[in-house]
Amino acid sequence: MIGSDLFYTSHMQQLAALTVRHRVPSIYQFREFAAAGGLMGSGGSASDWGHQGGIQTGRILAGAKPADLPVQQAIKVELFINLKTARALGLTFPLTLLGRADEVIE
């Protein structure tokens, strides 16, 4: 599991390449990681998180107190699987898991 720190997010492609090169299965919080070559992504989209952050920022700029705002969660939690990476790592996924994935990247 790779954390959602800004450092990791800004280096997704390099991180994905390293995990494949060193044969380390990895899962990341965003779809973009699987699209960049990582094995899996589970969570919301990075753009959705940015959108939610913008809404909260707008509320604060309009005068809301940050302490009064509710904690936000992902609008939709999704599962993304990169089969090309899975094959490179010698891994297979059960058909039931592939069937539940929101997107399977070939």
* CATH code, domain with 85: 3.40.50.2300
Distances in whole angstroms, Cα of residue 14 to Cα of each of 20, 70, 76: 10, 35, 27
What is the spatial distance between Cα 70 and Cα 47, in angstroms, rounded to a whole number?
20
Q: In terms of residue numbers, what domain contains 11?
A: 6-46+76-105
What is the reported pTM? Answer: 0.73
Return left, alpha or beta for 88; rule: phi > 0 is left, psi -120 to 50 is alpha, else beta: alpha
23 falls within a domain: yes
55 falls within a domain: no
Residue 77 CA to its chain's centroid (Å): 9
Each residue's pLDDT, cut to its tens digit, for the chain (106 residues) gives 777 777 888 888 899 999 999 999 999 888 888 899 999 998 876 677 788 889 999 999 999 999 999 888 777 788 999 999 999 999 999 999 999 999 999 8
What is the spatial distance between Cα 74 and Cα 76, in angstroms, rounded to a whole number?
5
